[in-house]
Amino acid sequence: MTTARGLEGVVATTSSVSSIIDDTLTYAGYNIDDLTENASFEEVIYLLWHRSLPTQAQLDELKSQLSENYDIPQEILDHFKMYPIDKVHPMAALRSSVSLLGLYDEESDIMTDEANYRKAIRIQAKIPALVTAFARIRRGQEPIAPKKEYGIAENFLYMLSGNEPTAVEIEAFDKALVLHADHELNASTFTARVCVATLSDIYSGVTAALGALKGPLHGGANEQVMKMLTEIGSADNVEPYILEKLNNKEKIMGFGHRVYRQGDPRAKHLREMSKRLTEQNGQPELYNMSIEIEGLVTGSKNLPPNVDFYSASVYHSLGIEHDLFTPIFAVSRASGWIAHILEQYANNRLIRPRAEYTGPNMQKYIPISERG
């Protein structure tokens, strides 16, 4: 056996959901650039789950199925109100509430293909409502019911603020959802597949994925990027702040990626969205600071920005609280998790790697009375 820390370079399975080849990301063979410019998030959901783009009739059916399942049980809303609101991170609330959803689904443990697809629809439809409901409840506000005629992006922004989002905001958020939908065998996706490979249910798989996404080295990075931008405060402080971090060999969140060598192909789309939105809301300094940070970090360490770096200023410009950035990642990535979960079920084998033992050998039991 050979070992690889973090399983780096190890090919653990085959998949037709998405690929990263020569720094190009594709969903079912479609280049992410093509999809970001042309496809809606709902089209991408269909693509990931079926490996083909939908016809208009198929897309209409999917949208109808999602809209019919937007609502979440009142018991979960009541449960949110029991949380220690000032101490609970929204990712912890989302992780727990998705697990709770399984308790109210009569098909939770039915493992037929048809039942799993119906559960996939319910989970994808309800996650945006869970995130926005918790966000409002912790502010002392009542949750806002989704509008059946709205898509996921428009509904999320509406349910969060209570205001009708602009066309630019809807477009930007929808593109962000497309960009985050799947990313091959990342940490949370691998976690989901390991979980359901035991033939555990889909709610367990998505809950396990949420637990992995919660970490700052995965989904939490964009929240840390916004924290950094807030600490810097103004363009005058960018250079001394970043140079101090670089001199101290501190990690700067939002840069570099294990599987990309020439740069994350998603970053350029979010960079452009950041420019448009920060100009629209009168905060162009956020974009300008980000550009300067990119120049310093990439110039010094040859680390280009990843998807998290510019998504921070995009979400901030949409008026979204910073600790909701990772739950938004989950709103999108649930589509990819579900695609991989369904693929795992379809050709399952228990995932059980080995570990190279590095501890002592040939130890002999000593009675407790004789231990020093």
Q: What is the DSSP letter of 349?
A: -
What per-residue string of b and e applies to 63-77 under the rule 16 or more CB within 10 Å gives b? bebbbebbebeeebb
* 180 flagged as catalytic: no
Closest CA to 334 of 213, 220, 225, 200: 213
The DSSP-derived string for 152-167 is HHHHHHHHHHSSPPPH
Is-catalytic flag, 79? no
Find the radius of gyration of the CA atoms of the chain.
Answer: 22
Is residue 237 within 8 Å of residue 109, measured between CB atoms?
Answer: no
- Asked if 167 and 146 count as a contact pair (C-beta separation under 8 A), the reply is no
Active-site position among 174, 269, 308, 316: 308
Torsion of CA 57, 123, 206, 50, to 10 degrees: -10
Contact call for residues 76 and 97 (beta carbons, < 8 A):
yes
Plot region of 266 (φ>0 → left; ψ -120 to 50 → alpha; else → beta): alpha
Choosing from 257, 269, 316, 340, which is the catalytic residue?
257
**Length of the chain, please?**
372
- Using CA atoms, how far apart are residues 157 and 169, in angstroms rounded to an integer? 8
Positions annotated as catalytic residues are 257, 308
